[in-house]
Amino acid sequence: MSFGLSSGDLVGRWSLSFSDIDFVNDKPELARLGLAVHLKFFTAHGFFVQDHAAIPADGVLYLAELLGLEAEAVNHYDFSDGTARRHCAEILQHLGFRRLKRVDREQQTSWIAK
């Protein structure tokens, strides 16, 4: 599956905010581009990418340019290993996701019942 991008989609979906850049640059250089791809793919599609084939090449090139990295660096990132899974959890935290607590479930149930 491939997700091609128009130029408007490229900027809209793959641009990094200042906090995103800080988040990505806090990691070792070899992991930065893969982490950025994970982050932007998730925000664009609502799920984490599992393999390189699903990543739009123009998105990788755009992120590499934004971060001052070589686009080929993404080939050194394994989107299915333990580090990538840990990065997924860190991305969710970075984006403000958290586990539902009991009070959250009760409020959701009450809201649905209305």
Q: Where are the domains of the chain?
A: 7-113
pTM for this predicted structure: 0.81
Residue 27 contacts residue 78 (beta carbons within 8 Å): no
Residue 1 has a pLDDT of: 40
* Start-to-end Cα distance in the chain: 40
Whether the per-residue pLDDT at 10 is higher than 80: the answer is no
Per cent of the chain over pLDDT 90 is 75
- The single residue listed with the structure tokens 């850049």 is 21
